[in-house]
Structure 1
Amino acid sequence: MSPTETGESGESGKTGEAGPAVSLTDVSMAFGGKTVLASVSLDIAPGSVVALLGANGAGKSTLIKILSGVHTDHGGQVRVDGVPVSLNSPLAARQLGIQTVHQRISEGIVPGLSVAENLVFEELAQRRGNPFLNGGRLLARAREIQAGLGLDWSDTVLRRDVTELDISDRQLLILARALATRPRLLILDEPTSALSAAEAERLFALVERMRDDGIAVLYVSHRLGEIDALADRLVVLRDGRLTEDQTKPFDWGAALRAMLAQAQEATTARPVREKASGDVVVSLRGVRLFEGRAPLDLDLRTGEVTGVVGLLGAGKTELARGLFGAEPFGTGAVTLDGRPYAPRRPADAIRAGVHLVPEDRHADALVPGWSVAQNISLPFLKSLSKAGLVQRSKEDALGRATIDALGVVARDEHSTVEELSGGNQQKVVVGRWLAETPRVLILDEPFRGVDIGARRDIGRRARALAAEGAAVLVLSADVDEVLEVADRVVVLAAGEIHLDAHGEDAERDRVIQTISASV
């Protein structure tokens, strides 16, 4: 009986089989009525490195979580070594030989346990009876596991609580533990995000060794240089669908178009917009978004929508959070209407009229259980209060005005945000920051997870605000979304500006080619 049938882990090694190690057939998934994966079919062969690309919100995390046994309520079929399987828990996935090294390091370590215990945790979790090893055997096994990755931590380090390791060492620990199980499929989600250049080189050598040993690798990364060096094949997810599948040599222009731009026939004709002649509202000089990268200069003007486009890790969110005071810039100078502007916290930015619609509306913006009106009024409670008490009539009026202005589909202003669709939730977040007219509006990935109608409503409101004299900054990984709303397009890569174009100069293919050339 095969390991897939028994549920026990088996070594991959050189299988000699022609079939895929893991295959997905018509895998689909939806959350709250919104499709996040649509009939995805993918075969991953033993001894191959398949790179998975996609912008934020493309469906990569959902696909990883299905293969990891986290998301179980999906359609379609997953097979391991040709046998249909039910990945109904993370343990079931691991027993079938699917190991995942998540981008979020906290998901892979157990605080309160030692470094050695974390290294052997996978084996301890599957031991029947007494799950513990005596100290000597524990250290001996931990040494064996770390040696597989070329680590050489002393016994003193192995005895420490795992939380005493820095982030890069925790990442290496998780990798060493995963490799010790001899997986059929190893999923690496942005594996070099916390590693130094030397540590990354060690990882690359390991990936090549795994390929030689017959292990299938799904490599998820936005770093195209790594993918070009390591991968045998790349696939692109966009809006939950596989839109590109290539083998080496890769056509990076086609891959980026598949990832960042809609089909040409599906895009709306872009109106030609002249270069804005309004006053400079925000001026950045010598601002460095990443250590070791060149500083940037950027002006935002009245009456202009500036779109900043770039891949994950380009620096878009760092730019937004710096302007909003959430992560103040460490270098350079910023002025707002000609005066020095250095917010140390978001409250400083809000008082100055700089408002941010954040990238993650659920984690950073919406308050579950609160009404539409309460969510909109949250940053401005002081102006809505009298004698320390919120005047509900004013709060409700603000909610109704936002519903009307942005076309929010809701029962009324008292509806909880959970009752709304994703697009209408996003309108609430945008509406919040329009409740008091901003001097500068920053929209970080404002169109993610919303339908085309909501996207155009938000875009129209952004352009109307610019026409009223505000400076608007839109940040997105989607070229077409930026082109649809922006007067001016800036391409950002690794914190540096590679293109700054207005009107007809901000042509679609030119933008995509610039992104391709900058990675």
Structure 2
Amino acid sequence: MNRTPVLSMRNIAKTFGAFYALKGVDLTVYAGEIHALMGENGAGKSTLMKILAGAYTATSGEILIDGVPHAIRSPKDALAAGITLIYQEMQLAPNLTVAENIFLGSELSRGGLVQRKAMQAEAQEVIDRLGAQFKAGDRVMKLTIAEQQQVEIARALHRKSRILVMDEPTAALSSRETHRLFELIMRLRDEGMAIIYISHRMAEVYELSDRVSVLRDGQYVGSLVRDKLNATELVRMMVGRPLSDLFNKERDIPHGQPRLNVHHLTDNGKVQPCSLLVRAGEIVGLAGLVGAGRSELAQLIFGVRKATGGVIEVDGEPVLIHSPREAIELGIGFLTENRKEQGLFLELAAQENITMATLERDANYGMLNRKKAQNISDDAIRLLNIRVPHAQVRAGGLSGGNQQKLLISRWVAIGPRILLLDEPTRGVDVGAKSEIYRIMNQMARQGVAILMISSELPEVVGMSDRVYVMREGSIEGELLGHDITQENIMRLATGVNDSHHQAVHL
């Protein structure tokens, strides 16, 4: 590209005390471009964007807009330069109307009186341009998360922003809302806006981005244009090693006797009679399309859902599991799919989240054993490489990868015989995924039987010793050895027979 970039960040450095968060980072973005910014948690993406938005001041380096140096020392400076950052956590006043939020800080007034009708009419024009369904007079608290995002975008358009930064915008959206957001982003791109899109989701980056820049350990690694994008190169740039090394499944772990044996387990609804077996030291994948009944089967095993038939055996002995407490007493841990709503206690400390399942076991005559809880959490933080300044930090303030490792450490703490992992790496970056795979290998080597539910086919293929595939509430088949391929998993998951499986595209 020979034209002048709308944004050039040159040799940006940022220190916090003696710690370098950014070291000489460059970023170039053009008008009419969707530029994805990728990297592991802690790579410096958010720090770089906060410097651009004026929330932080760079220790050194310069920012150019249309080739002209700009001193951005505050959010006001960034807005004046045409830059808007839409944070992952919405920066809206929920008790105000959409129009009042769009004009917040720049209200129309005459003779000291706010011109509410004029603001509402002007705001509605921007809303209509977006194609949004809400009205300028609606209160923000009544809107969905997706609609609140549209309010943030409308505010950026009203300010005539030329550079829009979106930080993990789809984290709380449904697939339909995500699709609508993508349509809007591409329309803004076509109108000439420069969009910087921060995401750890490869599929989104492939679908949206014209270029991708990668940060690692606070440094700029490089950029790829759209036709050069591939998962192997992106992973290598983000973590410094190729995709083939990511899973690092240990294939020499000996498999012992059956640890978990499920016979015809059913709830006569979501789960039809299902049978499966997991041996000590084995990682068994449970694959299938969304809605196939995988999570529900795991919930039956753990006692979250009530079974209407079937038998569960643990180490060869039939057991009755009517509640999660009974499952935990049998040495079964369950990592839920939705960590924030069903797993974590976001307002509690990391230590309290780690020891939640062992408090009763370790209590002395009904009194909490604080010393033992401290030791368990310290050991878990060290073992799982959970990046926290101390064990008392609030769980809700941690990155997605560290939150997931907190949950895994809760079940490691009980000394499990069986681990049920439902989407263990969903919503975490590549580096955290690699560490979670390392922990799974380590637990398997200690004789733990692991049943892993995953919608990521490369993960299922890369980490499983065997794979069961579910379809419409039933186990459709089992795959072993070289038969564990994405094509075979999809063939079973969709019910496509051998003669037609060529029609399945991955």
The TM tier, using the shorter chain, reads 0.5 to 0.7
Range with bigger deviation, 423-432 or 184-193: 423-432
- CA deviation profile, 1:394-426 (whole Å, cap 9, x unmatched): 5567678x48995999xxxxx8556xxx99999
Q: How far did 1:460 drift?
A: 6.5
Q: How far did 1:138 drift?
A: 2.6
Q: How far did 1:99 drift?
A: 1.3
2:149 to 171, 175, 178: 171
**Residue 43 (structure 1) aligned with residue 43 (structure 2):** no
**Residue 96 (structure 1) aligned with residue 73 (structure 2):** no
Opposite residue 42 of structure 1, the aligned amino acid is L
Distance 1:66 1:396, change over 3 A: closer
Distance 1:351 1:263, change over 3 A: same
2-side partners of 1:404 and 1:77: how far apart? 38
2-side partners of 1:360 and 1:198: how far apart? 22
CA contact (8 A) 1:37 1:240 kept: yes
Unaligned ranges ≥5, structure 1: 1-15, 410-414, 512-516
Residue 211 of structure 2 corresponds to 233
Opposite residue 81 of structure 2, the aligned amino acid is L
Residue 109 of structure 1 corresponds to 92
- CA deviation profile, 1:407-454 (whole Å, cap 9, x unmatched): 999xxxxx8556xxx999999876553333223336745997989998
Alignment of 1:182-201 (within 5 A): 182-191=160-169
1:246 to 202, 213, 224: 224
Q: How far did 1:187 drift?
A: 1.8
2-side partners of 1:30 and 1:507: how far apart? 46
1-side partners of 2:460 and 2:58: how far apart? 31
2-side partners of 1:57 and 1:86: how far apart? 25
Residue 389 of structure 1 corresponds to 367
**Residue 181 (structure 1) aligned with residue 155 (structure 2):** no
Distance 1:417 1:478, change over 3 A: farther
2-side partners of 1:122 and 1:354: how far apart? 54
Residue 118 of structure 1 corresponds to 101
CA contact (8 A) 1:321 1:327 kept: no
Distance 1:239 1:448, change over 3 A: farther
Q: How far did 1:189 drift?
A: 3.6
Alignment of 1:380-419 (within 5 A): 380-391=358-369, 395=373, 402=379, 406=383
Opposite residue 137 of structure 1, the aligned amino acid is A
Distance 1:481 1:83, change over 3 A: farther
**Aligned pairs, how many?**
466
- CA deviation profile, 1:191-243 (whole Å, cap 9, x unmatched): 45666777666655544443344321123456666655543223344565555
Alignment of 1:150-161 (within 5 A): 150-151=131-132, 153=134, 157-161=135-139
1-side partners of 2:256 and 2:430: how far apart? 34
- CA deviation profile, 1:130-164 (whole Å, cap 9, x unmatched): 986233223222222212213364xxx54332111
2-side partners of 1:426 and 1:152: how far apart? 36
**Residue 162 (structure 1) aligned with residue 140 (structure 2):** yes
Range with bigger deviation, 432-441 or 224-233: 224-233
Residue 258 of structure 2 corresponds to 279
Q: How far did 1:43 drift?
A: 0.3
1:302 to 272, 279, 302: 279
Residue 54 of structure 2 corresponds to 69
Opposite residue 444 of structure 2, the aligned amino acid is R
CA contact (8 A) 1:488 1:503 kept: yes
CA contact (8 A) 1:52 1:218 kept: yes
TM-score by length of 2: 0.65
Opposite residue 232 of structure 1, the aligned amino acid is D
1-side partners of 2:83 and 2:111: how far apart? 25
**Residue 25 (structure 1) aligned with residue 3 (structure 2):** no
Residue 493 of structure 2 corresponds to none
Residue 135 of structure 1 corresponds to 116
CA contact (8 A) 2:95 2:140 kept: yes
Opposite residue 118 of structure 1, the aligned amino acid is N
CA contact (8 A) 1:275 1:503 kept: no
1-side partners of 2:178 and 2:434: how far apart? 43
Distance 1:406 1:66, change over 3 A: same
Opposite residue 115 of structure 2, the aligned amino acid is N
2-side partners of 1:432 and 1:198: how far apart? 34
CA contact (8 A) 1:98 1:186 kept: yes
Question: SS where residue 379 of structure 1 aligns?
Answer: coil
Alignment of 1:360-399 (within 5 A): 364=344, 377-391=355-369, 395=373
Unaligned ranges ≥5, structure 2: 394-398, 490-503
Opposite residue 102 of structure 2, the aligned amino acid is L
Range with bigger deviation, 174-183 or 144-153: 144-153
1-side partners of 2:112 and 2:361: how far apart? 59
Residue 499 of structure 2 corresponds to none
Distance 1:276 1:18, change over 3 A: same
Distance 1:335 1:102, change over 3 A: farther
Q: How far did 1:21 drift?
A: 1.4
Instruction: Calculate percent identity across the aligned residue pairs.
Output: 27
CA contact (8 A) 1:101 1:189 kept: yes
Q: How far did 1:309 drift?
A: 12
2-side partners of 1:253 and 1:407: how far apart? 26
1-side partners of 2:432 and 2:203: how far apart? 32
Opposite residue 37 of structure 2, the aligned amino acid is L
Question: SS where residue 121 of structure 1 aligns?
Answer: coil
**Residue 440 (structure 1) aligned with residue 418 (structure 2):** yes
1-side partners of 2:174 and 2:353: how far apart? 41
Distance 1:454 1:120, change over 3 A: closer
CA contact (8 A) 2:331 2:418 kept: yes
CA contact (8 A) 1:244 1:258 kept: no
1-side partners of 2:467 and 2:18: how far apart? 33
1-side partners of 2:237 and 2:373: how far apart? 41
2-side partners of 1:55 and 1:285: how far apart? 42
CA contact (8 A) 1:267 1:480 kept: no
